[in-house]
Amino acid sequence: MTTQSVSCPAIFLSAPSSGEGKTTITAAIARNFLNQGKVVRVFKTGPDYLDPQILAQASGEDVEQLDMWMAGEEYCQQKLFEAAQVADLIIVEGAMGMFDGDPSSADLAARFNIPIAIVMSVKGMAQTAAAIAGGLANFRDDVKVAGLIANHCGTERHAELIRDALPESLPLLATLPRSEEVALPERHLGLVQAAEVADELEQRFTAGAEWVDGQLITQLPEPVTFYSAEVPEVAPLLQGKTIAVAKDEAFSFIYDANIRLLEQMGASCVFFSPLHDAELPEADAMWLPGGYPELHCKALAANTVMHNQIRGFFDAGKSILAECGGFLYSLNDLVDLEGDVHPMLGILQGTGAMRGKRGCQGMQTAVLPEGEVRAHAHHRSRSESTPEPVGYGRRQRHPAPGESIYQSRGLTASYLHLFFASNPEAVARVFGAKC
């Protein structure tokens, strides 16, 4: 295969830590360029469901997750190459702090030669912001830093103090005052799902585009050259199969890349709502993804017709994958944040219970009987009185067993969210393929 290349302006937004305003600013910049008539392709670092929903609405384009551990370098390389063929600008939003994690945002930016704009809340500091930005910019020789975006910058004098303290090699790309009009709504696992607040988001994106307008960050950066990668062809392992996918306010943690892979393997995906529907679509297998079932316990419990439909599907021995929120929905009961108990499907013995702010998150490999699949965990609940697991997740960097994995008849259930492209054959087996 001959390697191809294409150039496209690109910028990578990273920060010293979480909570500096990366997603708000990424959305504002994307909408500003969209208003300029540009095609903007946004990527999100790491296994994130909520930020991409927000950024997709802001940019008007699908948002892909990039993670070199979860998806592989070649996968990330090819996605960037494909985006560069159609985009006027590529924006990558980092995760956590710039050098946090393995691989980190800095690793991803360095691997694909994308310059980083450092996003920093400068509230309560002035020249110190320049010192921190300078330290980040010079921490590694293989990382290019384009400049600083000073978020929560109070006055022009505040901006001047920071600008004067920065070296010429580190320009001040934007000075953004605190604005309640552009801040994005949040809840316990992160941002609120875009579909729930679409109209409000539009107002915030309009304000955000004006918020960043006229700043250096709204000028196209220098082009970056992206290269094609050798990505294996996907075999039609699910040819002719129909997979029913739960998708509504309670179940929405779905990688578009996962749906796309199922379709590339020959499957037809049909969507249904455990909240609102009374009948399952005709299907050979089912996927109950993660989401927020704990926010919709009463409605899920009340839809007993759907319970009976899914139990019948399970009793028939058909394949079901239940991830995190889908796993909780599969249990006998779910205890909400107020301590009220709600009956769930009961296709797997056990009770799920919310536990406030404490939780579990991190990258793991799902060690399934069907094969190993890269995955991650992110939940603030616990399960108890469950059966003996068939296996456990293997943590990325810690020897302790990861999340429990359960199987019963055709059901595979766990807190883990799987990234299907990391092992298509294993995923096809989970959905009932004989390969």
Contact (CB, 8 A) for 18 and 94: no
Report the catalytic residues: 324
Model pLDDT, residue 197: 65
3 state DSSP class of 61: coil
Please give the Cα distance from 134 to 367 (Å, whole number): 42
Model pLDDT, residue 187: 45
* Amino acid letter, 387: P
> Residue 397 contacts by C-beta under 8 Å, 6 or more apart in sequence?
102
For each of the domains in the chain, give its residue range(s) and CATH number, in order of start. 5-225 (3.40.50.300), 242-430 (3.40.50.880)
Q: Greatest CA separation found in the chain?
A: 70
Chain CA centroid to CA 33, Å: 22
- Digitized pLDDT (tens) for each residue of the chain, 435 residues in all: 689 999 999 999 999 999 999 999 999 999 999 999 999 999 999 888 888 989 999 999 999 999 999 999 999 999 999 999 999 999 999 999 999 999 999 999 999 999 999 999 999 999 999 999 999 999 999 999 999 999 999 899 999 999 999 999 999 999 999 888 888 766 444 545 655 666 788 999 999 999 999 999 999 999 999 999 988 899 999 999 999 999 999 999 999 999 999 999 999 999 999 999 999 999 999 999 999 999 999 999 999 999 999 999 999 999 999 999 999 999 999 999 889 999 999 999 999 998 766 556 789 999 999 999 999 998 888 999 999 999 999 998 888 899 999 999 999 999 999 999 999 999 999 999 987
Please give the Cα distance from 222 to 218 (Å, whole number): 12
Token pair of 420 as six digits? 């299907």
Please give the Cα distance from 364 to 377 (Å, whole number): 7
DSSP string covering 361-374: EEEEEEEETTEEEE
β-sheet bridge partners, residue 320: 286, 411
Model pLDDT, residue 195: 59
DSSP string covering 275-286: TT-SSPPP-SEE
Please give the Cα distance from 153 to 25 (Å, whole number): 13
Model pLDDT, residue 252: 92
Q: Please name the residue ranges forming H helices in 293-434.
A: 297-302, 304-315, 325-330, 424-430
pTM for the whole structure: 0.92
Model pLDDT, residue 200: 83
Please give the Cα distance from 350 to 261 (Å, whole number): 31
